Structure formats: structure tokens, C-alpha cells
Amino acid sequence: MGIVPQGIKLIIIGCAALIAGILLFFWTKWIGLPLIILSLIFTLFSLFFFRDPVRDKIFAPGEIGAPGDGKIISISKEDYYDIVVIRIFLSIFNVHLQRAPIDGEVTDVDFHEGKFEIAYKPEAKDNQRNKIRIEGENGRFAEVEQIAGAIARRIACYVNKGDRIKVGDKIGMIYFGSQVALYLPADRVNILVRKGEKVRAGETVIGLWKRKG
């Protein structure tokens, strides 16, 4: 179990505050004790939230991986039914790293400022978001949209246009409760998951490419 780079600074701050609290405790427990408690809670939460578990599943040809950990809140067709969109809600208890759903090349990274609605509501589609387009072989493609929630205020993207990535590779992170949307060509995939199901990035097979695709 590792820690993502974005969390190391916060963990160091928490540990420093904890040490300061311990030192202050010997001078005045009324200041030291609250600082110890708060810094310990902060450090433990940071260790938990910014965890980076090992995900080493080898996907078979044609399998599409889940881009995020969490609960599927909707599966619908958009853009005149040409695109199927799978939306995943991430609570603060989920791993918040996003992973590539397919092999391919990053052909676009598109960031938009937006609102900060609660991530499991339909209105969240207009929140601050970052969409990563990955194009694979034979015209296959997938888009992963990182969507900030009411609490989340930062989206980290680990990839750039032109990068070559493999299914399961880390591509980004969203801070705190959030949503991840996966866009796929509706006529070229068979979706294997259902609304309400829990998925894990880099482990769950979310769909299969049809043979013709």
C-alpha cells in the first residue's frame, strides 16, 4: 500500500503538528492535548484518503476496466444514443485515484471550470471537470471525466496529450467526494455492470468490446 504524491505533504504537516503537540503537552496540556488529538486525526485521515493500493490485474484483450472506485449511479445513452455514459460516485471512503479503462494514446485533455454540486446528483455533470480522451486500436475510444463534488476543490491529472497508456495505469486523482464518468461508443461495447454495483479501478471489468469493434 503506497501513498499518492499529493498526500505526502499533508501527512508531513500532520506529523509535524503531532510532534509539536507532544512537546507542548509537557508545557501545558490544555494546548498540547487538543493539538495532539486533532493532528493525529488529520494524519490518520490523510494516510487513509491518499492511499494507493496495489492493483496489478492483467486485463484480457477486449476488456474495459473501471476508471474509478465507487458505486455506479447511472448508465445512460447520450448524444443521440451514440455514447453510453457510466457514472461512478466516489465517497470519501473510496480510493480516489483514476485509472485508464483501455490501452491507447491520450489524444485530448480538456479542463472546464464549473459548479460544485453534490457529486451524486444529476447537476454534478456541470461541476468543475476534466475529460481525458484515450484512443485505441480499430477506432476504439474511451473518455474519462473527472468531476469535482461539493467538497472536492481540486482535480489532478497525471497524463498529457500524446502519452501512451495501458489499461489500469494511473491517470489522475480527485480530492474528496467526487464523480467519475466513463464515455464509450454505445454500439461497440457490451456493458457488464449495473446501476448500484460497486466497482474498483484497475480491477473491475466494466465492459467488453464487441468483436466487430
Residue 170 sits in a domain whose CATH number is 2.70.70.10
What confidence score (pLDDT) does residue 74 get? 92
Together in a domain, 7 and 81: no
Does one domain contain both 95 and 146?
A: yes
Residue 58 lies in a domain: no
Same domain flag for 23 and 89 = no
What pLDDT sits at residue 115? 66
- Provide the residue range defining the domain that includes 138: 63-209
Higher pLDDT, 121 or 133: 133
In a domain, 187, yes or no: yes
Provide the grid cell at 131.
Answer: 475529460
Claim to verify: residue 123 and residue 155 sit in the same structural domain: yes
Average pLDDT score over the chain:
87
Alpha-helical segments (H) within the chain: 5-25, 29-49
46, 74, 91, 178: the active-site residue: 178
Looking at the structure, do residues 11 and 77 belong to the same domain, yes or no?
A: no
Q: Do both 79 and 115 map to the same domain?
A: yes
Phi, then psi, of 180 in degrees rounded to 5: -125, 130
Backbone angles phi, psi at 96, to 5 degrees: -105, 15
- Residues 58-100 have pLDDT tens digits of 999 999 999 999 999 999 987 767 999 999 999 888 888 999 9
Question: Based on the domain organization, do 133 and 160 belong to the same domain?
Answer: yes
Cell of 57: 490485474
Q: Are residues 184 and 79 in the same domain?
A: yes
Residue type, 206: I
- Predicted structure pTM score: 0.85
- Domains in the chain, number: 2
Query: Among positive and negative, which fits the CA dihedral 102, 104, 109, 110?
Result: negative
Q: What is the pLDDT of residue 142?
A: 96
What does the alpha-carbon distance between residue 162 and residue 188 come to, in Å, rounded to a whole number? 24
Q: Is residue 57 part of a domain?
A: no
Work out the angle between the directed axes of helices 29-49 and 5-25 (0-180°, nearest 10).
160
110 & 147 share domain: yes
Residue 45 maps to a domain = yes
pLDDT at 151: 64
Q: Is the pLDDT of residue 122 over 80?
A: no
Indicate whether 134 and 204 sit together in one domain: yes
pLDDT at 21 over 80: yes
Q: Tell me, yes or no, whether 116 and 174 share the same domain.
A: yes
Question: Residue 91 catalytic?
Answer: no
